[in-house]
Structure 1
Amino acid sequence: MHYEIRVDGHMSQTLAEAFPELETFVVPHQTVLVGPVTDEAHLYGLLARLQALGLHVAEMRRLPS
């Protein structure tokens, strides 16, 4: 499974390094994280990391295979 997670604002390089398994890029007013998610536990772990870092998830979606 691949997911796209959009967070509000521009993440610094240091914050992006907290998600080494995901590719990150910036679009106007958001940072997009894209990559493979192995299972539900991995997904919840990603969401917990985002929350712990104080990042607001604007949108999350599973990408077609």
Structure 2
Amino acid sequence: MHYEIRVEGAMSETLTQAFPELEHVTMSGQTVLFGPVIDEAQLYGLLNRCLSLGLRVVEMRRRPE
């Protein structure tokens, strides 16, 4: 499965390094993290990491493969 997580604002290089398993792009005032997610546990781990870093998740969705 591939997922996309949109967070508010442009993430610094330091913050994007906290997500080595995902690629990222900044557009329209948001940072989009995207890539493969193995299972629900990994997905919840990614969301918890966003929360612990103080990132505001705007949207999360599964991407077509």
Q: Sequence identity, in percent? A: 66
Secondary structure in 1 matching 2:19:
coil
Pairwise CA RMSD: 0.5
Instruction: Normalising by structure 1, report the TM-score.
Output: 0.98
Give the aligned partner of residue 37 of structure 2: 37
The within-5 A match list for 1:46-65 is: 46-65=46-65
Are 2:14 and 1:4 equivalent residues in the alignment?
no
How many positions carry a matched residue from both structures?
A: 65
Query: What is the CA-CA distance between 1:36 and the residue it aligns to?
Result: 0.4
Secondary structure in 2 matching 1:19:
coil
Instruction: Normalising by structure 2, report the TM-score.
Output: 0.98
Question: How far does the alpha carbon of each residue in 1:6-47 deviate from its partner, in whole angstroms, 9 at most, with x for none?
Answer: 000000000000000000110021000010000000000000
For the residues of structure 2 that align with 1:62 and 1:32, how far apart are their CA atoms?
13
Instruction: Report runs of 4+ in structure 1 exceeding 4 Å deviation.
Output: none
Secondary structure in 2 matching 1:14:
helix
Unpaired runs of at least 5, structure 2: none
Give the aligned partner of residue 26 of structure 1: 26
